[in-house]
Amino acid sequence: MRKVVASKTKIKLSCQNIWKIYGDDPNQFFNNKIGLVDDANGLARDISTSNHIVANANVSFDVYAGEIFVIMGLSGSGKSTIVRCLSRLVEPTAGTILLDGENLLAKSPEELTEVRRHKMGMVFQSFGLMPHLNVIDNVAFPLKLQGIKEVSRYAQAERVIELVGLQGRETNFPNELSGGQQQRVGIARSLAVEPEIWLLDEPFSALDPLIRKKMQDEFLRIQSMLRKSIVFITHDFQEALRLADRMAIMRDGAIVQIGRPVELILNPIDDYVREFTTDVPWESILSAADVCEKASGSTKGLGRVAADTQIDRLLGYLSTHEKGVLVENKDGSIVGIATARTVLAALASGSNSDPAEVKSAT
Same domain, 222 and 312: no
What lies within 8 Å, CB to CB, of 10 at 6+ separation is: 64, 65
Confidence band of 358 (pLDDT split at 50, 70, 90) = low
Whether residue 346 contacts residue 266, with contact meaning beta carbons closer than 8 Å, is answered with yes
Q: How far apart are CA 231 and CA 254, in angstroms?
A: 16
Give pLDDT tens digits for 216-255: 998 999 999 999 999 999 999 989 999 999 999 999 999 9
CATH number at residue 312: 3.90.1280.20
Q: How many CA atoms lie within 13 A of 134 on its CB side?
A: 11
- Torsional class of 253: left (φ above 0), alpha (ψ -120 to 50), beta (otherwise): left
Q: What is the dihedral of CA 21, 25, 28, 30, to 10 degrees?
A: 30
Position 78 pLDDT exceeds 80 = yes
pLDDT of amino acid 298: 78
The answer to whether residue 356 sits within a structural domain is: no
Which DSSP string corresponds to 144-201? HHTT--HHHHHHHHHHHHHHTT-TT-TT--GGGS-HHHHHHHHHHHHHTT--SEEEEE
How many domains does the structure of the chain reveal? 2
For residue 104, is pLDDT > 50? Answer: yes
Residue 169 covered by a domain: no
CA distance 198 to 228: 7
The better pLDDT of the pair 352, 321 is held by 321
Residue 89 sits in which domain range?
Answer: 11-119+195-276
Q: Is the confidence at residue 355, as pLDDT, over 60?
A: no
**Per the domain annotation, does 6 fall within a domain?**
no
Q: What local confidence, expressed as pLDDT, does residue 224 receive?
A: 92
pLDDT for 357 beyond 50: yes
Mean pLDDT, the chain, rounded, equals: 89
**How far is residue 315's CA from residue 318's CA, in Å, rounded to a whole number?**
5
Residues 19 and 101 in one domain: yes
- Say if residue 252 is in the same domain as residue 293: no
Indicate if 307 and 343 belong to the same structural domain. yes
Mark which of 260, 276, 292 sits at the end of a domain.
276
Q: Identify whether 292 is part of a domain.
A: yes
State CA 132 to chain mean position distance.
Answer: 33
Could you give the count of Cα atoms lying within 13 Å of 269 in the half-sphere of its Cβ?
10
| Among 246, 276, 306, residue at a domain's last position | 276
- Dist. CA 100–CA 147, nearest whole Å: 24
Tens digit of each residue's pLDDT (9 = 90 or more) over 80-101: 999 999 999 999 999 999 999 9
Same domain, 266 and 294: no
Q: In this structure, are 33 and 114 located in the same domain?
A: yes
CA–CA gap between residue 154 and residue 224 (Å, rounded): 24
The pLDDT-based confidence of 34 (bands split at 50, 70, 90) is confident
Reported as a single tens digit per residue, the pLDDT across 111-168 is 999 999 889 999 987 778 999 999 999 999 999 988 999 999 999 999 999 999 899 9
Residues 345 and 199 in one domain: no
The pLDDT-based confidence of 38 (bands split at 50, 70, 90) is confident
Same domain, yes or no: 216 and 327: no
What is the C-alpha R_g of the chain? 23
Q: Is 294 within a domain?
A: yes
Please, which pLDDT band fits residue 2 given cuts at 50, 70 and 90?
A: very low
* Residue 201 sits in the same domain as residue 332: no
Tell me whether residue 163 is in a domain: no
Identify the pLDDT of residue 1: 45
- In terms of domains, do 17 and 105 share one? yes
In terms of phi and psi (left: phi > 0; alpha: psi -120 to 50; beta: otherwise), the region of 270 is: beta
Position 7 pLDDT exceeds 80: no
Least confident of 22-36, 71-85, 133-147: 22-36
Please give the Cα distance from 334 to 293 (Å, whole number).
11
CA distance 31 to 16: 16
Confidence of residue 353 (pLDDT cuts 50, 70, 90): low
Phi, psi of 74 (to 5 degrees): -75, 170
Question: pLDDT, tens digit, for every residue of 308-321?
Answer: 898 888 888 999 99
Any idea what DSSP says for residue 100?
Answer: T
Q: What percent of the chain has pLDDT over 70?
A: 93
Q: Which of 276, 295, 328 is the last residue of a domain?
A: 276
Beta strands in the chain (DSSP E): 11-22, 53-64, 68-73, 94-99, 102-103, 120-124, 197-201, 229-234, 246-251, 254-259, 303-306, 325-328, 334-338
